[in-house]
């Protein structure tokens, strides 16, 4: 049942138009389809087949004559004319019984859909593949006040509404929503003067959480016009918030459907980080209108064509609005803490995979975030003008069509004349390249030697060299740039770059702005790192120097089983934290220690078996030493970050809260939580309240605050997710499993809801020392719940199975325990295809 990219064939039949009539009823919705088919002139004659799953076929006809197709669990085939014909079918489905949240389902009484990737086949029989694009007209009949579908509204009356989407689209972009919803409405006038109605549809109780999301949508619309010349193309843009959703949100044409957690915001209930994430997701889905919808993917192997590009665009948007330096650091952290881990384990796959069993298992940090990094590297290689020329050509060539990665790169090659043949390997080759960098200096000539290697990954033993853009700068001993940022193009396994006319040996600043998703190996002493932390003119590398200092120290302490932190690190930290010319958010990032995952990967790559308990303990020891060493500056630093102006989720206020709250975590180690308790009692926004609760929990003083928080927010679903999660995230490793287990018995734990499930079990899986208990109790608890969730919601289950991708990295005892847990999942009766594929990839 593995599907291979190499086996792609064009569709045998094309669709000229789709008419759907959907008669809503919770347990027996009827879907009537009328679809105009014609043979694809580019295909040899093939039998007529349609996808379809969990459908009860009531009746089918071709050109008005009843037919009896051969129906299987995955679709149907039927004898047809060899020329164009009209297919009609009536099927029955049961949205209220659909707990998998794919196809048409009900969330809290609201009918909604999720069709990407292959959910439309659970709504009606159809060629459910993205290279079949068609114009849809939809009539909805139902007794709810609001009836929505894609495109422009055509007509409506009591109990019905009709929609027409003039833009041809693949079935995965189909959407339908019906329910008792109210709108927060606004409008946007496009560059060419068209007025677009904007609606954010929510349940009445959530109307006060819409303003920010609406503003974010308008900012995104204006940005895409200004930066890419891409304007919206319908008379209305609808967004709907639903409580039950497998992912963050979905870019259905003209009718985006959002996980409520990815769109609803208010200062009292959302943190600064939530505001930032919500703005980015709204922008992301909106940007898909061009990169994804107008230009879609030929097949699901090309998923990164729309996702990598659209993530890149949402990253640019956030950087433009709130500052590029901090955004770049955060994006690099996602790569290092999550994507490098995926790339280093049994689930490693190329940005464009070449095989899959269930495509839903490939909506990964590799396809999305590494995919965005490839787009960013391409932009560096062709330059800003080449980038815009390539984008314009890509849009002009492929608008209205389904494209491939080859098409994408051809547009840039043709627009700029650059040869991107070698660059294409980035899309095909899994694994994180490691650059080994050495240097020498003599007679005014400085030479940088760069060697690249990528380890074998599943199915890919050999890794030819990649085309890697490495941005560097050279500094003199005062920190002045003797060579400003320069892009080196590494294309060979080993290469030397020469800089002459230098009067002294320079200090190199390598991989500026994280110009490629690689690991740099270079032996650097602490003094040079401290120099770069104080002087580097590239903000990313300045931050990275501090992070490398912390990392070298942490790895040394882990290897020696403990000891005292490095005085040079503490001095550098002190100088950075007290430098008020630096953005507080940047200082907060410098104060953040390398994550357990980051250290785990570093150890594993060097052949050391990582011990999660020891890693956790060393990190805690370092935090304790920092709190002690900086005890004279922390209270003032904390006080200086307090915001007295009314709450705004802007970068300047959020940066101060971020630094203040990072300091609060340290203060709590020395004041028994006094400052945190004071902040908790006085807090008037969720950022301050939740940070204070976290700090209290982290020092074991959070019980009363957690109860107060619960009592205040128990009516609010989104806040209760935070309440559940923070108790696990802040738990000491030896209590994390027991606390998780207890919370699964709490009345708030409605486990069929993906947000809830992730808040509890997902938070345990993300707590390295808590999840990887040596006794295997973390693995066993997660396995129990995944076995229970799989028959209800395979997608969310399969996604969380990836928590076991540390397999092969830890000691023998933990490996046995992980294998036992996975074997137990594999034996569960009627395990879904989604989860089966994940378990098999892990255990192979």
Residues found near ligand ARG in the complex (CB under 6 A): 114, 116-117, 246-251, 284-285, 307, 360, 363, 795
CB of 364 to ligand ARG, least distance (A): 10
Task: Please give the Cα distance from 687 to 689 (Å, whole number).
Answer: 6
Task: Please give the Cα distance from 522 to 542 (Å, whole number).
Answer: 16
> Binding segment for Zn ion among 31-39, 295-303, 307-315, 388-396 (CB under 5 A)?
307-315
Cβ nearer to Zn ion, comparing 310 with 836:
310
Cβ nearer to ligand ARG, comparing 74 with 491:
74
CB of 122 to Zn ion, least distance (A): 21
Structural contact between residues 495 and 479, judged by C-beta atoms closer than 8 angstroms: no
What's the farthest any 2 CA atoms get from each other in the chain?
Answer: 89
Q: Which residues lie closer than 8 Å to 360 by C-beta, 6 or more apart?
A: 117, 118, 795, 798, 834
Cβ nearer to ligand ARG, comparing 99 with 670:
99
CB of 807 to ligand ARG, least distance (A): 24
Cβ nearer to ligand ARG, comparing 314 with 671:
314
CB of 225 to ligand ARG, least distance (A): 21
Q: Which residues lie closer than 8 Å to 745 by C-beta, 6 or more apart?
A: none
- Number of residues forming the site for Zn ion (CB under 5 A): 2
- The SS3 call for residue 448 is strand
- The SS3 call for residue 700 is coil
Q: Is 193 exposed, middle or buried (0-12, 13-18, 19+ CB in 10 A)?
A: exposed
147: which strand partners?
Answer: 178
Binding residues among 309-328 for Zn ion as defined by CB under 5 A:
310
Edge-first strand order for the sheet with 468-475 is 481-490, 468-475, 507-510
**x/- map, 756-795, Zn ion, by CB under 5 A:** ----------------------------------------
CB of 242 to ligand ARG, least distance (A): 13
Give the H or E element holding residue 783: helix 777-789
Q: Is 308 exposed, middle or buried (0-12, 13-18, 19+ CB in 10 A)?
A: buried
Task: Please give the Cα distance from 133 to 466 (Å, whole number).
Answer: 35
Tell me if residue 285 is catalytic: yes
Q: Where are the beta strands (DSSP E) in 779-830?
A: none
- The SS3 call for residue 563 is coil
Which of ligand ARG, Zn ion, none has residue 266 at its interface (CB below 5 to 8 Å by kind)?
none
Which of Zn ion, ligand ARG, none has residue 364 at its interface (CB below 5 to 8 Å by kind)?
none
Task: Please give the Cα distance from 688 to 676 (Å, whole number).
Answer: 9
Which of ligand ARG, Zn ion, none has residue 117 at its interface (CB below 5 to 8 Å by kind)?
ligand ARG
The pair of three-digit structure tokens given for residue 486, joined into one six-digit string: 């320069």
Task: Please give the Cα distance from 420 to 405 (Å, whole number).
Answer: 12
Structural contact between residues 822 and 784, judged by C-beta atoms closer than 8 angstroms: no
Cβ nearer to ligand ARG, comparing 117 with 530:
117
Which of Zn ion, ligand ARG, none has residue 360 at its interface (CB below 5 to 8 Å by kind)?
ligand ARG
Which of Zn ion, ligand ARG, none has residue 416 at its interface (CB below 5 to 8 Å by kind)?
none
Q: How many CB atoms lie within 10 A of CB 355?
A: 15
CB of 318 to Zn ion, least distance (A): 15
Task: Please give the Cα distance from 683 to 666 (Å, whole number).
Answer: 19
Task: Please give the Cα distance from 196 to 682 (Å, whole number).
Answer: 42
CB of 232 to ligand ARG, least distance (A): 18
Which of ligand ARG, Zn ion, none has residue 698 at its interface (CB below 5 to 8 Å by kind)?
none
Q: How many CB atoms lie within 10 A of CB 481?
A: 16
Which of Zn ion, ligand ARG, none has residue 246 at its interface (CB below 5 to 8 Å by kind)?
ligand ARG
CB of 284 to Zn ion, least distance (A): 5
CB of 50 to ligand ARG, least distance (A): 21
Cβ nearer to ligand ARG, comparing 114 with 698:
114
Cβ nearer to ligand ARG, comparing 165 with 251:
251
Structural contact between residues 517 and 434, judged by C-beta atoms closer than 8 angstroms: no
Q: Where are the beta strands (DSSP E) in 243-387?
A: 249-250, 255-259, 296-297, 355-356
CB of 23 to ligand ARG, least distance (A): 26
Which of Zn ion, ligand ARG, none has residue 548 at its interface (CB below 5 to 8 Å by kind)?
none
Which of ligand ARG, Zn ion, none has residue 363 at its interface (CB below 5 to 8 Å by kind)?
ligand ARG
∠ CA 110-115-117, rounded to 5° = 150
Cβ nearer to ligand ARG, comparing 266 with 795:
795
Which of ligand ARG, Zn ion, none has residue 173 at its interface (CB below 5 to 8 Å by kind)?
none
Is there a cis peptide before residue 117, judged by omega within 30 degrees of 0? Answer: yes
Which of ligand ARG, Zn ion, none has residue 249 at its interface (CB below 5 to 8 Å by kind)?
ligand ARG
14: which strand partners?
Answer: 38
Structural contact between residues 282 and 252, judged by C-beta atoms closer than 8 angstroms: no
The residue whose two tokens read 């949402």 is 314
Q: Around 726, how many Cα atoms within 13 Å sit in the side-chain half-sphere?
A: 26
Cβ nearer to ligand ARG, comparing 114 with 271:
114
Cβ nearer to Zn ion, comparing 172 with 638:
172
Structural contact between residues 680 and 696, judged by C-beta atoms closer than 8 angstroms: yes
Structural contact between residues 343 and 432, judged by C-beta atoms closer than 8 angstroms: yes
> Binding segment for Zn ion among 308-316, 612-620, 673-681, 803-811 (CB under 5 A)?
308-316
Query: What 8-state DSSP symbol labels residue 460?
Result: B
CB of 841 to ligand ARG, least distance (A): 17
Give the H or E element holding residue 86: strand 85-93
Name the active-site residue from 88, 285, 307, 369: 285
Cβ nearer to ligand ARG, comparing 532 with 800:
800
SS3 content of the chain, % helix, strand, coil (to 5): 45, 20, 30
Cβ nearer to ligand ARG, comparing 641 with 795:
795
Q: Which residue from 510, 469, 501 is spatially nearest to 482, judged by alpha carbons?
A: 501
Which of ligand ARG, Zn ion, none has residue 250 at its interface (CB below 5 to 8 Å by kind)?
ligand ARG
CB of 128 to ligand ARG, least distance (A): 13
The residue whose two tokens read 């002190």 is 574
Catalytic sites, residue numbers:
285
Note the residues at the interface with Zn ion (CB under 5 A).
Answer: 307, 310
């Amino acid at each position: 049942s593995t599907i291979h990219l190499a086996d792609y064939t064009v569709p045998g039949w094309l669709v000229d138009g789709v008419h759907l009539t959907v008669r809503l009823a919770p347990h027996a919705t009827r879907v009537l389809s009328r679809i105009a088919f014609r043979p694809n002139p580019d295909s040899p004659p093939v039998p007529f087949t349609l996808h379809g799953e969990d459908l009860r076929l009531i009746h089918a006809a071709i050109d008005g004559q009843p037919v009896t197709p051969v129906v299987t669990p995955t679709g149907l085939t039927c004898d047809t004319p060899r020329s164009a014909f009209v297919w009609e079918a009536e099927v029955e489905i049961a949205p209220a019984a659909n707990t998998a949240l794919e196809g048409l389902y009900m969330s809290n009484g609201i009918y909604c859909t999720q069709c990407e990737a292959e959910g439309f086949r659970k709504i009606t029989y159809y060629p459910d593949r993205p290279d079949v694009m068609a114009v849809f007209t939809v009539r909805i009949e139902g007794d709810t006040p609001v009836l929505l579908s894609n495109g422009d509204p055509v007509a409506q009356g009591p109990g019905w509404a009709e929609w027409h989407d003039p833009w041809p689209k693949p079935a995965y972009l189909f959407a339908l929503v019906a329910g008792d919803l109210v709108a927060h409405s606004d409008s946007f006038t496009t560059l060419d003067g068209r007025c677009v109605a904007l609606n954010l549809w929510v349940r009445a109780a959530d109307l006060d959480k819409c303003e920010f999301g609406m503003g974010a949508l308008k900012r995104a619309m204006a940005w895409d016009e200004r930066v890419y010349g891409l304007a919206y193309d319908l008379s209305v843009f609808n967004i709907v918030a639903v409580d039950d959703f497998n992912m963050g949100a979905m870019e259905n044409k003209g009718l985006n459907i959002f996980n409520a957690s990815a769109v609803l915001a208010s200062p009292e209930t959302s943190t600064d980080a939530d505001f930032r994430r919500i703005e980015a997701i709204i922008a992301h889905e909106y940007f898909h209108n061009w990169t994804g919808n107008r230009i879609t993917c030929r097949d699901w192997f090309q998923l990164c064509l729309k996702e990598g590009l659209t993530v890149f665009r949402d990253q640019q948007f956030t950087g433009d609005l709130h500052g590029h330096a901090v955004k770049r650091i955060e994006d690099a952290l996602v790569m290092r803490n999550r994507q490098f881990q995926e790339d280093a384990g049994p689930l490693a796959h190329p940005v464009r995979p070449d095989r899959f069993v269930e495509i839903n298992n490939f909506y990964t940090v590799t396809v999305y975030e590494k995919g965005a990094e490839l787009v960013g590297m391409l932009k560096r290689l062709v330059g800003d003008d080449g980038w815009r020329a390539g984008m314009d050509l890509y849009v002009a060539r492929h608008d209205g069509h389904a494209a491939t990665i080859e098409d994408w790169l051809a547009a840039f090659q043709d627009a700029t004349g650059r040869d991107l043949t070698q660059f294409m390997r980035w899309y095909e080759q899994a694994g994180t390249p490691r650059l080994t960098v050495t240097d020498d200096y003599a007679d005014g000539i400085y030479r940088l030697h760069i060697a690249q290697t990528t380890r074998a990954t599943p199915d890919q033993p050999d890794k030819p060299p990649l085309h890697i853009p490495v941005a560097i700068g050279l500094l003199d001993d005062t920190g002045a740039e003797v060579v400003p940022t320069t892009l080196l193009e590494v294309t060979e396994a080993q290469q030397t770059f020469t800089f002459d006319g230098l009067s002294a040996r320079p200090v190199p600043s390598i991989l500026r702005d994280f110009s490629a998703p690689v690991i740099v190996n270079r032996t650097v002493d602490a003094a040079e790192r401290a120099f770069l932390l104080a002087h580097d003119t590239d903000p990313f590398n300045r931050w990275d120097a501090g992070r490398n200092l912390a990392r070298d120290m942490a790895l040394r302490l882990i290897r020696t089983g403990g000891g005292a932190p490095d005085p040079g690190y503490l001095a550098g930290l002190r100088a950075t934290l007290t430098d008020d010319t630096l953005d507080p958010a940047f200082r907060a990032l410098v104060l953040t220690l390398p994550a357990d995952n980051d250290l785990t990967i570093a150890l594993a790559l060097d052949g050391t078996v990582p011990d999660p308990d020891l890693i956790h303990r060393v990190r805690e020891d370092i935090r304790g030493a920092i709190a002690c060493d900086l005890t004279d500056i922390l209270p003032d630093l904390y006080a200086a970050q307090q915001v007295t102006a009314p709450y705004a989720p802007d970068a300047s206020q959020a940066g101060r809260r971020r630094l203040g709250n990072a300091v609060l975590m340290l203060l709590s180690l020395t004041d028994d939580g006094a400052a945190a308790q004071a902040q908790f009692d006085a807090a008037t926004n969720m950022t301050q309240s939740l940070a204070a609760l976290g700090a209290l929990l982290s020092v074991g003083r959070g019980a009363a605050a957690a109860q107060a928080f619960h009592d205040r927010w128990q009516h609010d679903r989104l806040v209760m997710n935070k309440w559940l999660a923070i108790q696990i995230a802040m738990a000491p490793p030896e209590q994390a499993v027991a606390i998780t287990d207890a919370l699964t018995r709490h009345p708030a734990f409605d486990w069929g809801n993906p947000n809830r499930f992730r808040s509890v079990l997902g938070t345990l899986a993300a707590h390295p020392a808590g999840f990887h208990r040596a006794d295997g109790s973390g693995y066993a608890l997660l396995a129990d719940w995944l076995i229970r969730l799989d028959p209800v919601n395979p997608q969310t289950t399969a996604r969380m199975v990836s928590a076991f991708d540390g397999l092969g990295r830890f000691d023998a005892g933990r490996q046995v325990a992980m294998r036992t847990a996975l074997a137990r999942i594999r034996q569960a009766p009627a395990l879904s295809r989604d989860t089966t594929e994940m378990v098999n990839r892990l255990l192979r």
